[in-house]
Structure 1
Amino acid sequence: MAEIEIVLPAIEAADTVVETDAGRFRVIGQHIPEKRVMVDPAILRDLVKAARAAAKNAHVPYSHFHVGAAVIMADDPEGSVITGANIENASYGAAVCGERNALHAAAAKGFRRIKFLALSTSDSLDGPLPDRSPCGICRQVMREFIERDEAQDAALILVDTGDADFTADILDIDRLLPYGFRL
């Protein structure tokens, strides 16, 4: 299949200032530049399918909320698909999300830069994006594995829709976690 260009549109919202008797407050706006990525849509489709299949391997005796993830790392010359599923534990703090399991497996192989990451929440596929998107910890971990100042070739994050008309909602880390922590 031929590559296509995916354009993530620029987002511009200016800061505003609120003047009060108690002082000035700034309401932070948003500036996210346009990003363009050339991709083979069949790879994205297959990655979403791999994430959905990985969700079947989730160990979720407490939440019953299955999450699968599949990642292709930009620094993997073979473009391998690495999957993960959420694994819960009676000690809730020991639970690990599917996205982090996939990224940790990739990092354990020596890879450090996400190219594409797909996730599937099989128990909420027909829900709105907030019911299907990664938790805050996973967003921060994703940011760790994405180039600091990516301009072109942005890492794409695909969220399975479960919809017959759409394969996935597409985001990048700036849209998913606009003010993520950086050292």
Structure 2
Amino acid sequence: MSEIEIVLPAIESADTVIETEVGQYRVAGLHIPEKRVMADPALLRDLVKAARTAASNAHVPYSHFLVGAAVIMADEPAGNVITGANIENASYGATICGERNALHAAAAKGFRRIKFLALSTADSLDGPLPDRSPCGICRQVMREFIDRDEAQDAALIMMDTGDADFTADILDIDRLLPYGFRL
């Protein structure tokens, strides 16, 4: 199958200022430029399937909430898929999410830039996007592995829908974490 162009539309909203008796407050607007990514839809579908399969390997004796992730790193020349699943621990601080598990495995192999990341939350596939989205820590970790000023070839983040008609919801890090922390 040939590649398709995926267009993530620009988002623009201006800052607004609220005048009060004690001073001004600014409500932050948002500026996300349009991004265009070429991708093989069969590869993206297979990546979502790999994330769903990875979810079956989750160790979740406490939450029973299975999460799997599959990532292809832009700086990995062979384009291999690296997977991870959430692994819980009785000491919740020792728990690791599926997304971070996959990204840490990629980083341990020396790779530093996400190209495509898919995740699957096996128990909430038919739920709304917030029920299938990464937690805040995972979003911040993803940001660490995405080029600062990507314009073209944005890293795509896909959330499995479990729907027969839709393979995944597609976002980029700016839509997922618009004001992520940066050093």
Q: Would you call these one fold, judging by a TM-score over 0.5? A: yes
Unaligned runs of 5+ in 2: none
Deviation per residue, 1:47-71 (Å, 9 max, x gap): 0000000000000000000000000
Does 2:33 align with 1:44?
Answer: no
Measured after TM superposition, the shift of residue 178 of structure 1 is 0.3
Does 2:168 align with 1:154?
Answer: no
Match of 1:131 in 2: 131
Amino acid at match of 2:60: V
Q: How far apart are the structure 1 equivalents of 2:65 and 2:23?
A: 45
Does 2:34 align with 1:25?
Answer: no
Q: How far apart are the structure 1 equivalents of 2:88 and 2:23?
A: 46
Note the 1:66-85 alignment, pairs <5 A: 66-85=66-85
Q: How far apart are the structure 1 equivalents of 2:23 and 2:62?
A: 47
Match of 2:34 in 1: 34
Unaligned runs of 5+ in 1: none
Deviation per residue, 1:93-112 (Å, 9 max, x gap): 00000000000000000000
Match of 2:120 in 1: 120
Amino acid at match of 2:118: A
Note the 1:54-69 alignment, pairs <5 A: 54-69=54-69
Q: How far apart are the structure 1 equivalents of 2:20 and 2:134?
A: 37
Amino acid at match of 2:107: A
Amino acid at match of 2:106: A
- Seq. identity, %: 87
CA RMSD, 1 decimal = 0.4
Q: How far apart are the structure 1 equivalents of 2:161 and 2:39?
A: 19
Q: How far apart are the structure 1 equivalents of 2:3 and 2:150?
A: 20
Does 2:141 align with 1:141?
Answer: yes
Displacement over 3 Å in runs of 4+: none
TM-score w.r.t. the length of structure 2 is 1.00
Measured after TM superposition, the shift of residue 22 of structure 1 is 2.0
Measured after TM superposition, the shift of residue 116 of structure 1 is 0.2
Q: How far apart are the structure 2 equivalents of 1:20 and 1:126?
A: 44
Deviation per residue, 1:102-135 (Å, 9 max, x gap): 0000000000000000000001000000000000
Q: How far apart are the structure 2 equivalents of 1:118 and 1:171?
A: 10
Measured after TM superposition, the shift of residue 23 of structure 1 is 1.2
Amino acid at match of 1:70: A
Q: How far apart are the structure 2 equivalents of 1:22 and 1:50?
A: 55
Aligned residues: 183
Measured after TM superposition, the shift of residue 82 of structure 1 is 0.2
